[in-house]
Structures are given as C-alpha cells and as structure tokens.
Structure 1
Amino acid sequence: MKMFSRFLTSCLLVASVVVHAADDQAAAQLRKQLDAMNTLQGDFVQTTYDKKGAEQETSSGNFMLMRPGKFYWKTLEPMQQLLVSNNKTIWLYDPDLETVNERAFTDDLRETPALLLSSDIEQLRKSFTVTRDEKDTSAEKYTLTPKVTDGMFQHLTLVFKANQLTEFAIQDSLGQLTRCVLTNVQRNKTLPEEKFFFQPPEGVEILKD
C-alpha cells in the first residue's frame, strides 16, 4: 500500500503529457515530441531524494505504456511489485504480501503525477505552463508547472535525447524529488493488450478502494 500511495503522489509512469499554447514556442516543441509517442517500453531506475537532496531509496524494473491511461510498471529490485492500468482500473500486486490493491481509474487519479505521463493529451492541454532549458544543448529539457497550485506536486520535468524520452522527475509539494532514468527505450512498438489487464492469482487477498 505504501508503494501504491507513493506511485500516485510522486510518479512512476512515462508516456505523454503536453501543454497547449499556440504562442508558446517551448510548449509547441514539447507537444511535437509527445504527440509522436503513442507507446513506450523499456527499463527504469527510480531514485527518491528528500528535500535536502539526500538519497532515500532506489528501485528498478521494466515498463510498458500505451496512451491513454494504460501502463504496466514492474518493479524487480529491491522488492517485486506490479502496477497495471487499463484506463478503467488500477491494480497493485505485491507478491510478498499476497495482496492486490484495486481501484477505479477515476477523474481525481487523472490529476496525480503518477498518471499524468500516461493520460490523454487532450485532458492535459490546459493544466500546465511549460518552459525549456535553452542552456542545455545536449538534451531537450522541459519543466511543467501546474496552473493549480494546491496540487500534489510542484514541478514535472521531462528530458529528451535524440527525440527519445530518457528521464523524468517530479518534485512534490513537500520538496521530495523522484527521478526516473529510462534505458533500452523503444517507442511506438506494438504492445500486447493483455499486459494492461491484471488477473489476480488464485488465493491472494483483493483490497478495493
């Protein structure tokens, strides 16, 4: 349950978010990058830092994502966990605890950092302002700030290299930073639909919110 809450409030998934602003060059550049990304898969290393910059924990695994709202995020180390969404239901499976936490993919969850990266672009057009770090010539780095300031996070940063999303990070409202580095990334490959629907193993406890 702790992992589930952390995911919803600090972001584990990757796919596409965009800000619409016809007169904003940075937003237009970001939109071009993300509009071209319908599916994404690869490996991740996720590290969480406290507000002073001290490393708190690191996890790694692999992921698949299909826009809108479908994702498969499998943590392998240090403990196995699986988070799955089919855009209607979200499942968190913990093999060690033999539990599955299940809840509906509702409108309030669409606003969490965890789901911004896999949500429908059309739903996110008016939610953010966007800036680009023009000083960094080795990558395209965009920072998105929610227009509603009482949300769960302060900033979302997306980093592209050679037109590929390689990193994203979220700073939450308490100053904690969660950074996800992506490797072996493949974009717009055909993904198996069954990966985005979870069938609980026999004998596990199902907890519904």
Structure 2
Amino acid sequence: MNVFARIFTGLLLVLSVTTYATDDQAAAQLRKQLDAMNTLQGDFVQTTYDKAGVEQESSSGNFMLMRPGKFYWKTLEPMPQLLVSNNKTIWLYDPDLETVNIREFTDDLRETPALLLSADIEQLRKNFSVARDQQDGSAEKYTLTPKVTEGMFQHLILVFKSGQLSEFAIQDSLGQLTRCVLSNVQRNNALPEENFFFVPPEGVEILRD
C-alpha cells in the first residue's frame, strides 16, 4: 500500500463513527458470530506484552478448533509445544522437556478463556459482561469482562473482520497482554476426530494434575 493510500485509509478510520451495543445485544451478536463457526483452522502469531506495552515474547504455529471443547494448538517457533483437548482430557506436550502434562477438561471459561472459541457459548451471559465496538463496516471488536473477578484474566477481546475471526487478546490480572493474530483461516471444514486426541510418545514423563 502506498503512502497516499495509508493516509486516506487512516483518515477514514478516524472519521468513522464508533458505536457500542448494550450487553445483551452484544452477547447475542457475538453468539451469532460464533454459531456460524463450528470448526476453525489456520495459523497464528502469539505475542505477549508487559503492562507498559513492551513486547516480551512471540511464538507462532497452527491450530484447529471444533465446538464444543475440542482444540489443537501447535506452537512451532521458537520452542515446539502442543496443546490438545478432546472435551474430556487436556494434554500439554513439551518435546524438548520430554513431558506430557495431562489434566481433566474443564469448561470453566474463567480458568481457560481460550475455550470460549470452542465451548458452549450459552455460558457467555453467565460468565461475562460483553461490549461490542464497531469502528467500520467490516471490523467488530468484542470485549468480554468476567463477572467473577477471581479468574486468571481481566479482559478477553475478540476481533472479527468481514465475519471472520481475525484475532483475540487476553489481558491478565497483572496487566500483561497476550495477543493472537490469525491468518490463513478456514471455517467449517471437516476435521478428523483423531486430531483432538493425543497418545504420548514412548519414554516421555507423564505428569497429571
């Protein structure tokens, strides 16, 4: 994009009217967005910032999600790691440490906010206050704030562009922000069930929570 196009685009964004939906309207609209997404797959870049906005670390990889409660989150760079859930069990495999941490699946969104993308979204109104911020015709930002403050995060932000989930971010109780930008996203493709089950390799140490 040339300089003129960047300036013109920026001007349009500045002049665009920002609108906010009420909590029930926002939750209903978010539910509509998520209901259209039975499966999701693509690539991600995950970046963590401290409370001052300074980048701390970055990683990248690929993912698959299937509602309800099934996900495959594979970090490739800089350190390989794999997180898998089949809606009953969660496996965290660290090939460098040769360990697999296994724990029972929980549908408590306060503890595992990323499950929002694959869980029963009827829990939205129960667990969160939802605000919707629409700044142009194609981008929508939803900010979810837990109604119970003992959770691990303060805010969860979901951004949709042209109806497609493009990024999400989590701000924890210490002000640290983790932002995941998605790319090459494909929605509602058939995904094999075996992708959401993990068999630990021989010789690895198995840890159970």
Q: TM-score, normalised by structure 2?
A: 0.84
Separation in 1 of the partners of 2:137 and 2:204? 50
**Aligned residue runs from structure 1 range 32-111, under 5 A:** 32-108=32-108, 111=111
Q: Which amino acid aligns with 1:122?
A: E
Counterparts of 1:1-209 in structure 2, within 5 Å, are: 24-108=24-108, 111-209=111-209
Using the TM superposition, give the Cα deviation of residue 98 of structure 1 relative to its aligned residue in structure 2, in angstroms.
1.0
Q: Give, as a single letter, the amino acid of the residue that structure 2 aligns with 1:90.
A: I
Kept in 1: contact 2:138–2:163 (CA 8 A): no
TM-score of the aligned structures, taking structure 1 as reference length: 0.84
The structure with the largest alpha-carbon Rg is 2
Q: Which runs of 5+ in 1 are unaligned?
A: 1-20
TM-fit CA distance, 1:23:
7.6
In structure 1, what residue type is equivalent to 2:46? Q
Native 8 Å contact 2:110 2:127 kept in 1: no
Q: Secondary structure at the match of 1:126?
A: helix
Q: How many residues align?
A: 189
String of CA shifts for 1:163-203, please: whole Å, max 9, x gaps: 10000001011100000000000111100100100001111
State the AA in 2 paired with 1:77: E
Structure 1 CA distance, aligned partners of 2:98 and 2:182?
28
Q: Root-mean-square deviation (CA), in Å? A: 1.9
